[in-house]
Amino acid sequence: MTDSIQSSNDEVHNPSLSIAHSVAEMQAQFEHLHALSRSQPINDWATREIQLDHLEIMLSDNQDIFANAISADFGYRSESETQFAELFPSFTGISHAKKHGKKWMKAQRAPISALYMPAHNEILPQPLGVVGIMVPWNYPLFLAIGPMIDALTAGNRVMIKMSEAAPRFAQMFADAIAHYFSPDMVCVVVGEVDMAVAFSELPFDHLLYTGSTAVGKKIMAAAAPNLTPVTLELGGKSPVIVLNEANLESVVNRVMMGKTLNAGQTCIAPDYVLLQRQHHKEFIHLAKEWMAKHYPNIENNPDYSRIINGEQFTRVQGYLSGIQKADIHALTDVEVDIETRLMPPMIVTEPADDSEVMQNELFAPILPLVHYDTIDDAVQFVNSRPRPLALYVFGERYNDIEKVRNDTVSGGLCINEVIMHAAQHDLPFGGVGDSGTGAYHGKAGFERLSHMKPVFVQTKINGMNLLLPPYGGLFKKAMALFLK
């Protein structure tokens, strides 16, 4: 690893200070970054752009190393998937921030009531200080880099807690950060759950966590004593509503792409499909054809990833244990392999509403098909459950699509597509309700990780003295006019 990393940072520093392996080291580095954030706020674009340059060079120099480390943590993860789902959005995110960041950080005029003119209003973005980022295991590169882009563009210093479930990548990433960034800017924390708990209890200026809803509640509770503002990017069950006139072949093509990416281990993967019952058989048939075309010989196919560890594999198998075999439709001829953690995709038809596959986020290549009769029924089905991180609707009729768009609430929405909204740097990405709070990516992320300070600028000549006591006749006439 060290042979392949060449520092792009001209500053002389001790790389070990950029990595924390213990709670004591983590607390010491936090105090160091916090003090710097107060004494040396990063208010210039040149410094921010240099940090983004370092990030871009680090990624470019270590693409293969990062992909190999992630694959090792998974038991096997397709290098192409890492390129597509992690490296590509990271590079484009950096490019987008470098293109727009200088403009974002400038004070912007804001409207003002004519009653206060000739004064004017401004909004001045300022760095928060130290931003904490807690990274999950399913996309450990992009879900570290994406928040980093927003934090650095906003002029913050950063601490990152890597996932203990992806330890090889965590150490590789920490080593890379230590060689490309000054410990005055970025620190990476590696370690087990106890380190994550202590990390969440630090008094960050903002804490961004990506992971499960259950853990998200604990993160919010840990942040509360410090009044640390949080962005929680959680998960849940992201539904697909297939309207009756939709082209089913096109639906299957997009849904199966989203479900098989990273073997279903994606927070915005299609979780279940609402589909009228007469289309179930055709959907399954088309899904089998799709698998044969896109993942032939799946047990040896270099494009298909594995379930990350035995704990996750056992969890998913437990979900299936309560389902009748007749309702489980394998989409390939290959059996589940416990030893290699290979889980071929399968469809579950009409699972009971209280079954685990319908109550829990699947995070696996399992796709329930659920029957609905009318669009109102489908909308009600979604609305009666916790609000999802993403919702996908397929159809052709404008009015039907608009009904789903307007009558449901979800973190994000795709029409005749899945997942791709998360790759749009000009769209905010985030959840609502149980699927999260706050949004980031692009300008939304810059503003989320900035203090958008309101500024009122008074002029020498103004009428404010007319509003001072003693309140005379002119004041009373003005109030009578204003309060009509």
In 3-state terms, what secondary structure has residue 422? helix
Decide if 164 is catalytic. no
Torsion of CA 20, 23, 25, 31, to 10 degrees: 110
> Is the Cα dihedral 352, 354, 356, 359 positive or negative?
positive
Decide if 56 is catalytic. no
Strands, sheet with 450-457, edge to edge from the N-terminal-most edge strand: 108-110, 120-127, 450-457
From 56, 81, 201, 233, the catalytic residue: 233
Element (H, E) at 366: strand 366-370
**Residue among 377, 143, 418, 115 at smallest CA distance from 270:** 418
* 105 phi and psi angles, rounded to 5 deg: -80, -5
Please, are residues 322 and 353 in contact by the beta-carbon 8 Å criterion? no
Residues 6 or more apart from 378 whose CB is under 8 A from it?
241, 274, 372, 404
C-alpha–C-alpha distance, residues 37 and 127, integer Å: 9
Q: In sequence order, what E strands does 24-111 have?
A: 108-110
**Residue among 276, 380, 277, 363 at smallest CA distance from 318:** 363
On the CB side of 183, CA atoms within 13 Å amount to 18
Q: What is the DSSP string of 364-420?
A: SSEEEEE--SSHHHHHHHHHTSPPPSEEEEE-S-HHHHHHHHHH---SEEEES-SSG
From 267, 361, 414, 447, the catalytic residue: 267
CA 264 to chain centre: 16
C-alpha–C-alpha distance, residues 327 and 203, integer Å: 49
Q: Which two tokens stand for residue 196?
A: 């994550």
Q: What is the DSSP string of 320-375?
A: HHTS-GGGEEESSSPPPBTTTTB---EEEES--TTSHHHHS---SSEEEEE--SSH
CA 413 to chain centre: 14
CA geometry: angle at 382 spanning 377 and 387, to 5°?
A: 160
Q: Could you give the residue numbers annotated as active site?
A: 233, 267
